[in-house]
Amino acid sequence: MPFSPLPTVPPAAPVPQRRRRPSRRGAGATLALAVAAAGLAVPLVPAAAADGPTLLSQGKPATASSTQSPNGYQAGEAFDGDGGSRWSSLAADPQWIQVDLGQRATIDRVELDWEGAYGKGYRIQTSDDGTSWTTLSTVTNGDGGADVLDVDGAGRYVRLLGDVRGTGYGYSLWEFRVFGEPAGGPVDPVDPVDPVDPTNPTACLTDVTAGATATASSQQGDSTPAKAVDQNTSTRWGSVLDTTTWTGQDDEWLQVDLGEADEVCGVSILWEGAYGKDYDIELSTDGSTWTSAAQARNQDGGTDVVTFDTTSARYVRWQGVARGTTFGYSMYELRVLTPGASIDPTTDLFGPNVFVFDPSMPDSAIQHQIDTVFAQQEQDQFGPGRYQFLFTPGEYEVDARIGFYTSLSGVGQDPTDVTVKGGDWVDAQWFGGNATQNFWRSAENLSITPDDGMARWATSQAAPFRRIQVNGGLQLDSSAYGWSSGGYIADTNVTGVVESWTQQQWYARDSSVGEWKGGVWNMVYSGVEGTLPTAATWPKPPVTTLDTTGTVREKPYLYLDGDEWAVFVPELREGTTGTTWKNGHTAGTSVPLDDFFVAKEGDTAAEINAALAAGKNLLMTPGVYRVDQTIQVDRPGTVVLGLGYATIIPEHGGVGMHVADEDGITVAGILFDAAVTESPALFVVGDEGVHTDHSDDPIVLHDVFMRVGGAVAGKVDAAMIINADDTIVDHVWSWRGDHGEGIGWDLNTSDYGFVVNGDDVSAYGLFVEHYQKYNTLWNGERGKTVFYQNELPYDVPDQAAWQNGDTRGWAAYKVADGVKNHEAWGLGSYSNFTSDTEETEIVVDGGFEVPQVAGVKMHNMLVVSLGGEGIFEAVINGVGPRADGPDTIPSYVAFYGGVDVTPAPALDVQATAVTRCVAGKVQLAVTATNKEGAPVDVALATPYGTKTFSQVAGGKLAAQSFNARAAAVAAGSTSVTATGTVDGEAVTTVVPATFDGRTC
């Protein structure tokens, strides 16, 4: 039901998928994929040549006759340039989708990228006013895929009018592109709606809505007007909908009565999925006579801040002009703003990208700053912005929305020193409710008291949730319950329920929960206290539970030691369970900030290395650091701590950072991004072949992330290499990009994502994706992994390009052949080969490849072909069922290894099967040849009968013809079972033989 509140019970979990769309297959497979696995994303490059017509439609306002869901598949998603988001209509004819180009233009070409639910009959039309339409092209026998239509016309509005659907579903477009040239004509004025300058001493940022009353033109169900002014971002007002068509009306309004006149200067609106594209803000002193204060046009939802000249008013009215969707309007919050003293939360110490908040600052001013950053970072997936919010001890009432490259931390000694009351931390409205691209953001070292009892952290990779006290529950799904691909929690206490219904995998370490519910494929818990899903017989449920984690040290954190800044380094622990702070302060060492070099964006590698050589630790404030020499961390015990996803880009083919083979070094919170000139590695720990015992004081890595492609066509041989013995890896995402800029098999090249040469290395929370050879290659002895998530490269062009000798493809996780001891728990690998077709399948022989020796033990593994895009022949070393087909069903192996495996003896028997025509019917001739030196028993089994032969002598044949009793048969297979003796041991060997189809 559109715009219903969050359900009290989980919805049916969608088939989890990831970031790129599927390739087009046969009609049946395409449709099944559309239903089960649509939504994979990859940006598309417009097809226009550089000197050809201009792409006019991208990012322009769009509307449609209907949408499949209130929280996704909106009209604008067909014009956003992202081939993984899409518009989908309801399943009825006719339907339409149109774009407003903003001014009149000549139209030369229209390109349509259909999802599985395509239009068989449709028209392309133009209009100058959005009312009277002229048809430029009519299609009557469309077959989906990509349609390119050369047209000749002009207009401001371009519409696809669907007459006949090609399937039983609606219409669904990945992209709708309009090419031509602007022809001049009126352009709608757009009033500024950006947040005002926060340095203005009288900025428009004080919320005076608390205690106000609200009325509206209508309401849907219990979505009352009062819920738009209740200071709760989990409740909302919604205008009325037609209960048959689920459509709303444009001319709706919401009115706020402040109780008395105030000097108002703006409004802040937090939209649900059904937003207002065009609307007016009106003011009144008596509730009867209204004056227009501002007009907002061509808005796109999310958070709007509309400012205007300060005016005395008691009543503020939002007046809808045009909806952004076919539904009505739906607001979480409408806040009336007045001028107020702004704050400057930046400091000279930490630079312009770190905001330090304290309880003396007005919550409205803090909210304004958070909203300003979020508006910039919500969708800026590969941009340069990097930000850190620091909350000093105290209580705050703000809605802490966190976008890309944004970290939010408390700076008390304990998480309970800072309490943030509010809601709406991380959702996925920017991506249609799909959380699979909610990367690169974090929260740490504070308490959350959510408005409605449930905080939201709908994230995927590289989004750690550390050292948090949640006073209530924690929702790991988006509000639309879209796909999600997380995730990581550590040293956290959740007093209520954690819900992860759509998360395809998750790792939680050394934490406490009231209860945990949900999970799709691979949920792993180590050292977690509380009521967890019962790990009965894996994979039902798909849960791996370890009582303790092992040897680990928690991540260092910046905090205030009294009035002085310091970095706290927790102590090394063994046999860990629960949080480090449940019985008091976390044990460890405080390091004064005076002992750190505080780097800011623009500082050079030479300056950083000079400080490190002088004995300083390193605090990297948010920013992008392009380094022309390797950052060398050589001193034992050095702490390198990044804030706000500080990013290191090695230039000129260098290595970003090298850590010496010394005791006690810590590197935390750094993103390494490959440059266009190939590097041998981005991050190297220790020196190969140097095996120094660090077990008493190991090197520890926390929240260290690799990226190859996405921002540029980065290149690296092996992204991350660990040579030092005893290294502890605490949460890594090593990602060769599958979407963004510079993406392609020959563009963002990288063979290996994570290479371990050191002995006794432990990895807790290892995410490695899309590398072109082994994603993970483990050469060291006595390695240990708890939780592994992988996707194989999407962009394999064909099987020939992805061969490892005679082996098809490269395993996701490879333990080198000579390794004697290795153990891992909870591992998953997924395929989505976008070049895979039914005619040219791409196969990987196994997701995991390990030595067959007693000391190598692998627990709870799965492989899955996403929508049938590719084939896993087996799970590990030829063991485990084949994974393929459009239904996205994993193949599992609960345990492999622990014993020396000697290949079983086999009989040397050959088999052939041939079809032929006899008297107008098909006959199948099967022959078995005994190549052994001793007699064997032979059984021939076919679809048309069986035949047994006793004691077939060595070198002799056993043959039989079987009548199919039909004039035509399809291709198929038969088997020959031979039983004999090898070295005194009874042996049975089954030999398959395929035969061609034949028509007589």
Provide DSSP, 507-570. EEES-EEEEEE--SSEEEEES-EEEPPP--BTTBS-EEEES---SEEPPPEEEEETTEEEEEEE
Residues 789 and 824 sit within 8 Å (Cβ to Cβ): no
Q: Which amino acid is at 428?
A: A
Burial 540-563 (b: 16+ CB within 10 A, else e): eebbbbbebbbbbbbbbbbbbeee
**Residue 641, amino acid:** L
Closest CA to 730 of 666, 681, 824: 666
Phi-psi region of 42 (alpha: psi -120 to 50; beta: other; left: phi over 0): beta
Tell me the two tokens of residue 909. 């028997």
Reply yes or no: is the peptide bond before residue 102 cis, omega within 30 of 0: no
Q: What is the DSSP letter of 717?
A: S
Give backbone dihedrals phi and psi of 27, rounded to 5 degrees, phi first: -55, -45
Are residues 539 and 860 in contact, defined by beta-carbon separation less than 8 angstroms?
Answer: yes
Q: What is the DSSP string of 835-882?
A: T--SSS--EES-SEE---STEEEEEEEEEEEGGGSSEES-SBTTBS--
Q: How far apart are CA 625 and CA 642, in angstroms?
A: 11
User: Amino acid letter at 666?
Assistant: T
Q: Point out the residues that are catalytic.
A: 791
Distance, in Å, from the CA atom of 434 to the CA atom of 69, rounded to the nearest integer, reads 12
Q: Please, is 49 exposed, middle or buried when counting C-beta atoms within 10 Å of its C-beta (0-12, 13-18, 19+)?
A: exposed
- Measured between alpha carbons, how far is 23 from 25 in angstroms, rounded to an integer? 6
d(CA 68, CA 117): 12
Q: How far is 160 from 110, CA to CA, in rounded Å? A: 10
Round to whole Å and give the CA distance between 32 and 835. Answer: 18
Output the CA angle 599-603-608, nearest 5 degrees.
65
> How large is the C-alpha radius of gyration of the chain?
31
Distances (CA, A) of 756 to 552, 759, 760, 810: 18, 8, 10, 17
In Å, how far are 194, 260, 526 from 339, measured between CA atoms? 16, 16, 50
Contact of 238 with 249, CB cutoff 8 Å: no
Q: Work out whether the CA dihedral 666, 672, 677, 681 comes out positive or negative.
A: positive
Q: How far apart are CA 181 and CA 832, in angstroms?
A: 38
DSSP string, 879-905: BS--B-STT---EEEEEEESS---PPP
Structural element, H or E, at residue 376: helix 363-377
Output the six-digit token pair for 976.
């020959």
What are the backbone angles phi and psi of residue 916, rounded to the nearest 5°? -155, 165
In the numeric block, the tokens 């799970």 are attached to 875
Report helix, strand or coil for 371.
helix
Helix (H, G, I), strand (E, B) or coil at 606: helix
Q: Please state, in angstroms and rounded to a whole number, the distance separating the CA atoms of residues 116 and 94.
A: 18
DSSP state of 373: H
User: What DSSP character marks residue 457?
Assistant: B
Ramachandran quadrant class, 445 (left: phi over 0; alpha: psi -120 to 50; beta: rest): left
Vertex 868, ends 862 and 870: CA angle to 5°?
Answer: 75
